[in-house]
Every structure is written in structure tokens, then in C-alpha cells.
Amino acid sequence: MKFTEAQLESAIIELLGTEGYPHVLGKAIERQPQEVLIKSDLRTFLAKQYAKDGITTGEIESVIRQLEAYSAADLYESNKAIMRLISDGFHLKRERTLTPSPSPKGRGESGNDGSSPLGRSGVEGRSQRDLYIQLIDYSDLVEFRKPKAGEVPEIVGEESPSYGNTGNIFKIVNQLEIVGHEKRIPDGILYINGLPLVVFEFKSAIREEATIHDAFVQLTVRYKRDIPELFKYNAFCVISDGANSRVGSFFSKYEFWYPWRVASHNPHPQPLSQR
């Protein structure tokens, strides 16, 4: 059998669901029509991940404002900058915390004329160390970064976190209406902590006039023109007709979009259209 676009969309969503990516309809997400971030997820992740560091609501909002401030008009440079924040993390300059300061004994009158070093406010500034922020919890990937025995010296500083215990918030979202220069509805968006990192576009293998290349054009021409904000946060895109699937950078030419790398134990996986 061959898939219609709707059937292919449902099959991919179901497949991702088995891998731990819950499905959410776009209309269920509280946001403004022009917004592409799921801000509630990003707020929840940062608040929980850095609770021990005392991250404040204001600091979380400053991170979101900074992400939104990157211009979609200079899409390539903005994407590159945001991808660096996502991959490498960044230092967040802490808010200056004000704490009450009692008047020194014997000098209680000095504050009346403002001559106290603290002025009339009776508060003093307490600086905090800058906070290293990662927008994705990579602790689950420790095992993948470990070199083979004997390749490099090992220094054990602490116990490795157990696999599968990250604080990341995953979602596969479809039917998300995004209003830019025109309204567009991508077939699927994979979110991690509110960031739209992967965009899916499907074409039906039933319609002879529709090809997988048409999905590429849809993403890199129409969506780029109408909803560029979405691709500030894009790590890569996936296009598929059920029989053929390709993955590539949003900024790459079509010839550099490659088929999925097959597993070594199964060099000829069964296409979705034949399952």
C-alpha cells in the first residue's frame, strides 16, 4: 500500500510516539499565532533544571527575550547563533539581588542625610556568580561521548547520571498554524523544551505529480518566505513520501539532503509504505 499525506503524517507521529515523543495538536498549544516557541515548556524546563541555582522568573524571561530578539531577516546568521547557544550553552548574567542592610551600631543617624554608603534605601547589592545555561539537558548522552578504553586517560569526578533520566520536554506537534507573511501549517514539528528543532514535510507517493523534491521546495522556498521565524531554531529538516525519506540542513541544496543512515544489522529496512 501507499500512503496519502494524512496517513503518512499519522504513521510518523505514531512511530515517534513509540520512541517517547508524545503527540500534541497545534491548537492545544497556548501561544500567539505568530509565535513558534512553546514558551511554557521552555519556562518549565529552565525553572526545574536550575531550581537549585535559584534561577528567577526574570532571568528565565530574559533568556526567552534574547532568543526571540534574533532577527529572522538575517536567517542564516540568526540560526547559526542560536544553534551555538543550543549546542554549547551560555553564561547568564545574574540579576542583582537586593538585600536589606541594618544600620551599623553607633552610626544610625548617618542614613538620614544620605551620607551612608548604602544611601537612604537601606539595601545593599549582592552579586551572584553567572549561571551556565544549557537549553537541552545533555546528561543522557554521557555514554555516547565516552571514548573507547585506552584512547584517552580517564578522570572520574562524579557518578555518571543514569541513562533516560533527563529533564527534557519532548513533543511532536502537527497542525500548528503559524502566521507570518502568510499562514502556513507544517506537517510536523519536533519540539525539545519548547524549541522547534526539527521540521517534517510529507508528500504522498500516490499522487504522481507530487515528489519528495516538492517537499524540499515547500520548506526552503515557501516556508522560508512566509514563516522564517520557525527556522531560526531549526537543527535539520526531514522530507518523506513514505517510500523515500531524506534529511538535511534547511540551508543546504537538495543534492546534500541524504537518505536516512540504515542500521548495520538491517541494511534493507522495510519502507513505511510497505508496512
In the predicted model, is pLDDT for residue 14 greater than 70?
yes
Domain residue limits, the chain: 5-94+128-147+163-274
CA distance 56 to 59: 5
- What average pLDDT does the segment 101-112 reach? 48
In the predicted model, is pLDDT for residue 159 greater than 90?
no
Q: How confident is the model at residue 8 (pLDDT cuts 50, 70, 90)?
A: confident
The predicted structure's pLDDT at residue 129: 77
Q: How confident is the model at residue 178 (pLDDT cuts 50, 70, 90)?
A: very high
CA distance 208 to 243: 13
C-alpha cell at 161: 547520571
Q: Which of the residue ranges 75-84, 99-108, 133-142 has the most confident prediction, judged by mean pLDDT?
A: 75-84
Phi/psi region, residue 54 (left: phi>0; alpha: psi -120 to 50; beta: rest), is left
For the stretch 19-62, pLDDT in tens is 889 999 999 999 999 999 999 999 999 999 999 999 999 999 99
* Prediction pTM value: 0.76
CA distance 94 to 88: 19
